[in-house]
Amino acid sequence: MGLFQPTPNADNATDRTRPLADRMRPRTLADYAGQEHLIGPGKPLRTQIERDDTGSFIFWGPPGTGKTTLAKIIANMTKAEFIEFSAVLAGIKEIKQVMADAERARQYGTRTIVFIDEIHRFNKAQQDAFLPHVEKGNIRLIGATTENPSFEINSALLSRCRVYVLKPLTEEQIVELLKSALADQERGLGAMHLTASDEVLKKIASYTSGDARSAYNVLEVAAGLAQRQAGKAAPEITDEIVHDALQKRVLLYDKTGEEHYNLISALHKSVRNSDADAALYWLGRMLEAGEDPLYVARRVVRMAVEDIGLADPNALSLCMAARDAVDFIGMPEGNLALAQAVVYLSVAPKSNALYTAYGSVQQDVEQTAAEPVPLHLRNAPTGLMKGLGYGKDYQYAHDVEGKVADMQCLPDNLRDRVYYQPTNEGAEKRIRERMEGIQRLRSQAVENDSARSEPARSEKEI
């Protein structure tokens, strides 16, 4: 069969050389597990499939949630020509050939559904090759991707496709799939007469993070181990066997994909909400999945200045120390330094006063005129500059009572602008009190200057 030949109707699911996950692939909507929000009775996708009017759409979801399976079910139920290929193997030349064949087939009244697995791997030019044919109706495109289509699919193509989001399977759903595989004599492991407790199956389900394919793979390895250990006795999949089959828990993570940003967002927002337990959990999820610890350290430093600020000035120092510890001792020892930092930030008093203050400064810099520095704030290292008024009327704060002079330091167009407004949290309460004291000293200085500038009244005026 060539790369672009239609999917055959013959069912070879009993071929024992194929992986268990492939043999157990559902063939009808009735056998399909999960995604009730899409294919439950009366739901839009189910209605489209049953009417054989699917249009073009994108399946977006984590691995093992049934994207390819759902496409194959549509292939079995549709009256259209179904062509399947992988974005990993196909180039622009092959795509154009398929499009030309589909256009000729449409002239004879035959519809063509093109299913593209891992469509996010196509570059912009390859995706653009589909656009005119989707627009004309020469093909109905079904794409499958684990990446966010908003970032990975061209906006023009995406606007012509409906996006269906597939959710990870629940532990209960995966347990039921594993039980079916153990009992199925034709396609599953029924001929091996294996036994496994619900607790063991739940362990497999919990460790595979909603990925049915991964769960089937673990079960298949565990079945082989159990059969070899049992000899002539009835093989049983035990907790120890599952532990050997799992080796290491499967954690859904992509250092450059959406899950990367989802997890760091969860960590940051847990810290901001003073939830130390949640912050520790999300930190662990990232580090145990292989995230770069220095990336985490940089983001933790950002949390210290964005969400704690001067409410606890020590937060930044501690986070910088954690970053240095990670850099110095490496992993896994460095994970405790990061754990210490995120717990400290979680329980520290919170303030975003500096964050909002600097945001206001950025806005003023962008939207107001860049007026020159007032003359009295400029240095006058040369006679010319002094003659031009540089430094004139400057008041040296150390020579003034209270160390606060009546002197404008902002440009005229931003006179009296207030950016930093400290809260009453932590150390910022003392900062607020100090700033209020500074304002009183400044007001008093203004009154004193006004009094000195009033001319003395004569005796006649008195």
What is residue 462's predicted lDDT score, i.e. its pLDDT? Answer: 43
Task: Give the residue ranges of the chain where pLDDT is below 70.
Answer: 1-16, 87-92, 109, 231-232, 247-258, 449-462
What is residue 13's predicted lDDT score, i.e. its pLDDT? Answer: 57
What is residue 454's predicted lDDT score, i.e. its pLDDT? Answer: 59
What is residue 227's predicted lDDT score, i.e. its pLDDT? Answer: 84
Q: What is the rounded distance in angstroms from the CA atom of residue 93 to the CA atom of residue 452?
A: 87
| Domain 375-449 of CATH type 1.10.3470 | no
> Do residues 388 and 430 touch, judged by C-beta distance below 8 A?
no
Domain made up of 258-347: CATH architecture = Up-down Bundle (1.20)
What is residue 319's predicted lDDT score, i.e. its pLDDT? Answer: 95
**CA distances in angstroms from 300 to 253, 254, 270, 292, listed in the order given:** 19, 19, 12, 13
What is residue 92's predicted lDDT score, i.e. its pLDDT? Answer: 67
What is residue 88's predicted lDDT score, i.e. its pLDDT? Answer: 65
For 251-262, the DSSP string reads: ----TTSHHHHH
For 3-39, the DSSP string reads: TTPBPPS---TT-TTS-HHHHT---STTT--S-HHHH
What is residue 248's predicted lDDT score, i.e. its pLDDT? Answer: 55
What are the sequence ranges of the domains in the chain? 20-165, 171-246, 258-347, 375-449
Superfamily of domain 20-165: P-loop containing nucleotide triphosphate hydrolases (3.40.50.300)
For 203-262, the DSSP string reads: HHHHHTTT-HHHHHHHHHHHHHHHHHHHTTSPPEE-HHHHHHHHSS------TTSHHHHH
Q: What is the rounded distance in angstroms from the CA atom of residue 436 to the CA atom of residue 458?
A: 39
Pairing mode of beta strands 236-237, 162-165: unpaired
Query: What b-and-e string marks burial along 282-302, b requiring 16 or more CB atoms within 10 Å of the CB?
Result: bbebbbebebebeebbebbbe
What is residue 78's predicted lDDT score, i.e. its pLDDT? Answer: 78
Q: Who contacts 373 (Cβ-Cβ below 8 Å, separation ≥6)?
A: 411
What is residue 1's predicted lDDT score, i.e. its pLDDT? Answer: 35
- The third-level CATH classification (topology) of the domain covering 171-246 is Helicase, Ruva Protein; domain 3 (1.10.8)
What is residue 91's predicted lDDT score, i.e. its pLDDT? Answer: 65
- E strands, 78-135, are 81-86, 112-117
What is residue 297's predicted lDDT score, i.e. its pLDDT? Answer: 94
What is residue 340's predicted lDDT score, i.e. its pLDDT? Answer: 95
User: 332 preceded by cis ω (within 30°)?
Assistant: yes
